[in-house]
Chain A
């Protein structure tokens, strides 16, 4: 083993999960893991990475992005002009070529995540029927360990078992579904609302007590029942909730109600920025922020975590399993629109969009995102995300880090926004600045903990040797834009912005146990409803990719 040692010498280590806040120390790596320093002083490392004067953190963890699957490919096909207009990624001796634009190609996505010091990424919305495609594409997304959450919030079997009052059956179904899809976690997207949208024009769930036709259940029941089932199954990540009424003025009451309906169960509320709006009486002037009361509720309830879904000004692509949102945006923007109905499982809407700093609504969205980072007291409870590419590209993370660490920079951008936002947003009085350690929490330690990834997001003995080394710079954006070294599973992935070894990561998923007797009931429903055969549905992960069961 001794010949395998790599030593990271004398870096300033930020490892908040282990209480290390900027201490100069050495790290030893072997076998893809962080190990204790060898006790035998004669042991030499085969490679020493000199990190003196540099900042050492665990590799970044993006817990909510959209990088694989049918929606991503539809978006690429729908907007070839975006790929065409962006500078292409050239082939090198070690890496493949690719395209950028709002939705980069698979290999380019992996390279760019690595280039930013991210070593883990989770796609947040894969319909179980699209799981096979998603896994194949994940296997072509290099440099990161990866996985996805699968959609259950509008699944017919889920709604049926809630309607019949069969919580044990629901639990078994969710466990079976996660295993069949090779997914990491459960995802609710506009629970019940997408089913109503699929049933008829302008159908949607207006609030948590709207009855879903044909199933006699409400969004509130779906949220509570699934959250409970996930907790009882002891899944590593709680139910991942995209609330009802995304993007609509006045939707904050729905969001607050969703938090309450979790009824003390763990819950992660995603891209919370899109769910924190005041207003709603048709008057644009009433649109605004309701972060304060929501953040207050989150602060007081430790069962809740959030990621932000920060909006970044510029062109991007909205892709969501929330079909009615796609329709709403396409009418708002007068742009291309894709909508699909995924059988018994989900929906999908895709629309190219542009966030402009001259638009009061978009400026509000930008400000509301930052309010969330600054108004949640405990950084372990809030995670950085742009909901890539919905709010903006993951490539904007360094810019967001600077907005959080540098209030002068933040105020300069803020002062250029339309007057209503400048006058009313709480941002004008928020002078909190994130420390490096807090940035390390919201970009790696926090999301890893929320995901229940015990070997990621920290640098203690036994952790995966996923490590990013940054050179301090005059501003945080420059510093986080191009790490000096990125190490993945103990191997040097990136050096000075160039991919050295584009190694493939592994797919992380769960395979919870369940009551096998329920399978017959699921099969009967499945054979009666689906367009494919029962035996073809489960994904054989081993045949497709390197995979690892977590928890």
Chain B
């Protein structure tokens, strides 16, 4: 049985839950947990004043219930275990996490999985801007792990990411994979302007539109039937992502870029005409 946090009532000021992670709560009693202090706005409040806490966290599972769109930093820095959110979550979910899994049965805000170093985040709804990206000033975004979003995401998806996989069932907005260093981003809907702008290495697949609005600094490299996408499809299905026929081995067009950067990145599109 998981440890259950039910939002007691609608919250006013935003709440930051950084540090409330499964590994930390595992050996605590309900009373101790209810006394833990978190920030709401600029004041410290007891967790028990915000949530009704029940269940048992001994098996490393936490469940949050209610409208948590104003509750930020869920699972930030977690190292293992599992967090399930039944509803929407706020910003910075899973930021810097190194392991474990976060399942959100709703939407997530901006900065989802920023600078994550391992583990899995699976969002059944949509997510905001800067998913899997780097925080301001950092050299690297996510460096390992998997982010699955069944809906759509905002801009700066996977900006400066170094390794790992992001799959988006719907659309994404501008500059997906901005200055990415390596890693993989698959978008099954349409994308906004300039995917892969400044990318050094890494792989971006855009399957839901044609032509893809690439920058002129991408160069067509030919048509292929990439086998690795079938391997990724198998992984995605194993993780519970809805099956995608786009990854079944059909012929795709490959573009190389961004030539203003290192130029070793690749963008896969369904049809010719990638460059504007």
Whether A80 sits at the interface, judged by CB under 8 Å, is: yes
**Chain B residues with CB below 8 A from A80, complex form:** 135-137
Interface of A is mostly: helix
How many residue pairs link A and B with beta carbons under 8 A? The number is 12
**Chain B residues with CB below 8 A from A461, complex form:** none
Best-buried of B135, B137, B138 by chain A (most CB within 10 Å)? B137
Q: Count the B residues whose beta carbon is within 8 Å of the partner chain — how many? A: 4
Whether A436 sits at the interface, judged by CB under 8 Å, is: no
Whether A81 sits at the interface, judged by CB under 8 Å, is: yes
Separation of A80 and B137 alpha carbons in the complex (Å): 5
**Chain B residues with CB below 8 A from A522, complex form:** none
**Chain A residues with CB below 8 A from B137, complex form:** 78-82, 84
Bin chain A's interface residue count: under 10
Among A107-148, those with CB < 8 Å from B are none
The distance from the CB of A88 to the nearest CB of chain B, in whole angstroms, is 12
**Chain B residues with CB below 8 A from A84, complex form:** 135, 137
Among A72-123, those with CB < 8 Å from B are 78-82, 84
- Chain B residue at minimum C-beta to C-beta distance from A97: B42
Separation of A79 and B137 alpha carbons in the complex (Å): 5
- Chain B residue at minimum C-beta to C-beta distance from A84: B135
Among B128-164, those with CB < 8 Å from A are 135-138
The distance from the CB of B22 to the nearest CB of chain A, in whole angstroms, is 24
**Chain A residues with CB below 8 A from B135, complex form:** 80-81, 84
**Chain B residues with CB below 8 A from A78, complex form:** 137
**Chain B residues with CB below 8 A from A81, complex form:** 135-138
- Chain A residue at minimum C-beta to C-beta distance from B139: A81
Among A31-89, those with CB < 8 Å from B are 78-82, 84
Separation of A80 and B135 alpha carbons in the complex (Å): 9
- Chain B residue at minimum C-beta to C-beta distance from A83: B137
Separation of A81 and B135 alpha carbons in the complex (Å): 8
Separation of A79 and B136 alpha carbons in the complex (Å): 8
The distance from the CB of A93 to the nearest CB of chain B, in whole angstroms, is 15
Q: Interface readout for B97-132 with A: 1 if CB under 8 Å, 0 if not?
A: 000000000000000000000000000000000000
The distance from the CB of A76 to the nearest CB of chain B, in whole angstroms, is 10
**Chain A residues with CB below 8 A from B138, complex form:** 81
Separation of A218 and B61 alpha carbons in the complex (Å): 72
Separation of A56 and B137 alpha carbons in the complex (Å): 43
- Chain A residue at minimum C-beta to C-beta distance from B134: A81
**Chain B residues with CB below 8 A from A82, complex form:** 137
The distance from the CB of B92 to the nearest CB of chain A, in whole angstroms, is 12
Separation of A211 and B138 alpha carbons in the complex (Å): 42
The distance from the CB of B137 to the nearest CB of chain A, in whole angstroms, is 4
Task: Offer 12 A-B interface pairs, CB within 8 angstroms, sorted by A.
Answer: A78-B137, A79-B137, A80-B135, A80-B136, A80-B137, A81-B135, A81-B136, A81-B137, A81-B138, A82-B137, A84-B135, A84-B137
- Residues of B that sit less than 8 Å from A by CB: 135-138
- Residues of A that sit less than 8 Å from B by CB: 78-82, 84
Q: A80-B136, A81-B136 are in contact. List 7 more A-B contacts (CB 8 A).
A: A78-B137, A80-B137, A81-B135, A81-B137, A81-B138, A84-B135, A84-B137
The 10 A-B residue pairs whose C-beta atoms are closest, nearest first, are A81-B137, A80-B137, A81-B138, A80-B136, A79-B137, A81-B135, A84-B135, A81-B136, A78-B137, A84-B137
